Amino acid sequence: MLMIFLYAMFAIISFIVAKIEYKPLKIEKERTILSFIKGGQLSLFSIILLGLFAVVINMYYTHITMNQMASDRLNYEYDFSRDLIAATAGLTYIFNIVNKHGGNFEDVLYLTTFVSIVGFLLSYKISKISTPLGLLFCFFTPCLLNSFVNLKQTYANAFASVAIVLMMRNKSWGNELLILLFLWLACQFHPVAFLMIPIYILFRFFINDEKKYNLSSVLIVVLLVMVCLGGLLTVIAKLIAPVLPYLASKLLQYFEGGEDQTAESGWIVMIKGIYIYYISYYLMKYRHYIQSNMRFYNHMLILSLIISVCYLISPFYYWLPRTSSLLEFPLLLYWVKCLQFLPKGEQMKYVSLFLIGFFTFRTLMIIFIK
């Protein structure tokens, strides 16, 4: 119960700080790398303080769960204590840093929470469509809570979120370099982050924000792409195996077969996607209202459809729920901003309350189970 109280306090304090410092960004003015540091809804000082506060909470959480670690964390602790190569290059680098400074495995967990929370708050800071209410909404989801319970996936999620938010900004060489940097960082921590590469290509070179696409065609294309993507990456992994054997082995581990992997499947995962189906439905239903008032509608619609398809076909591809977690944070920020442009505002409030209840239930279950 104390963990629930601490997490709720962290969410409320973050919301209050975000509310105090909130300054809506104007797309036209944010064009340089310097604006990445100076501008935004949160100061870097506040982001670092909130990250440290999250570490303090994780110290308590780790203390009460250290003897009940899941198998993944036990494997990571084994690798760390014996100076073995970790599951990914990024995690190996984190292990080396902590070992070099005389730390222990608990310090790895604290550093993970700090970096991932800072990453999520940074993506909130630089987003054109984020609001304090949107940030609070995300706290009701597992997006931020997973920073306390996961390891390599949460690094990838945070870096991927920053990359997606940067894709929702004006094009410039500096911005593109930052996008590629954060995509590279995400790929260093989890093989599933390589799926961000085709999404980047799609967003930057093929989607026109001003165009009104045929929704049925878009849905069919997204479905075909997600079904075929695993096979395509498997072929790529086999081609690069002679040159990059380690990377090829990790890609094959995730995208070839997968029966030996531990993952949720079946209708349970499909039910977890209810809120994304709902968001996708309303993005399509109220297309005119949203697209006429907010930029990057097509990008976010396709993002929501990709996540929806990930949940719907996850019983057949175990790695797809991991893919959806890479993409959810920016979509949720966008969705909360959309609410002010939708008709039937009172009905939207009730539906949003239902979603918050659904999120809260999932979040509490994660706290108790993990």
Tell me: the pLDDT tens digits for 32-59? 555 555 656 788 899 999 999 999 988 8
Question: How much is the mean pLDDT over the chain?
Answer: 78
The residue to which tokens 């899941």 are assigned: 70
pLDDT band at 5 (very low <50, low <70, confident <90, very high): confident
pLDDT band at 256 (very low <50, low <70, confident <90, very high): low
168-172, 275-279, 317-321, range with the lowest pLDDT: 317-321
The 3-state secondary structure of the chain reads: CHHHHHHHHHHHHHHHHHHHHCCCCCHHHCCCHHHHHHCCCCCHHHHHHHHHHHHHHHHHHHHHHHHHCCHHHHHHHHHHHCCCCCCCHHHHHHHHHHHHCCCCHHHHHHHHHHHHHHHHHHHHHHCCCCCHHHHHHHHCCHHHHHHHHCCHHHHHHHHHHHHHHHHCCCCCHHHHHHHHHHHHHHHHHCHHHHHHHHHHHHHHHCCCCCCCCCHHHHHHHHHHHHHHHHHHHHHHHHHHCCCCHHHHHHHHHHHCCCCCCCCCCCHHHHHHCHHHHHHHHHHHHCHHHHHCCCCCHHHHHHHHHHHHHHHHCCCCCCCHHHHHHHHHHHHHHHHHHHHHHCCCHHHHHHHHHHHHHHHHHHHHHHHHHC
Identify the pLDDT of residue 28. 45
Cα separation values, 145 from 27, 58, 64, 128, 186, Å: 30, 10, 16, 23, 18
pLDDT band at 350 (very low <50, low <70, confident <90, very high): low
Nearest to 109 by CA among 57, 161, 185, 186: 57
Summarize the confidence of residues 2-6 as an average pLDDT: 76
Interatomic CA distance for residues 32 and 39, integer angstroms: 10
Structural domain tally of the chain? Answer: 1
pLDDT band at 261 (very low <50, low <70, confident <90, very high): very low
More confident site: 262 or 72:
72
Identify the pLDDT of residue 77. 80
Identify the pLDDT of residue 68. 57
The answer for residues whose C-beta is within 8 angstroms of residue 163's C-beta and 6 or more apart is 179, 182, 183, 186, 196, 200
Identify the pLDDT of residue 115. 94
Domain that holds residue 133: 2-369
Residue 312 identity (one-letter amino acid): L
Interatomic CA distance for residues 76 and 87, integer angstroms: 8
Residue 73 phi, psi dihedral angles, 5° rounding: -65, -35
More confident site: 63 or 244:
63
Tell me: the pLDDT tens digits for 144-189? 878 887 888 899 999 999 999 998 877 778 888 999 999 999 988 8
Summarize the confidence of residues 285-310 as an average pLDDT: 85
Tell me: the pLDDT tens digits for 193-212? 888 888 888 888 877 777 77
Identify the pLDDT of residue 255. 63
77-81, 164-168, 280-284, range with the lowest pLDDT: 77-81
Which pTM does this prediction carry? 0.85
More confident site: 2 or 263:
2
The answer for residues whose C-beta is within 8 angstroms of residue 145's C-beta and 6 or more apart is 7, 139, 363, 366, 367
Identify the pLDDT of residue 259. 43
The answer for residues whose C-beta is within 8 angstroms of residue 111's C-beta and 6 or more apart is 94, 97, 98
Summarize the confidence of residues 118-126 as an average pLDDT: 91
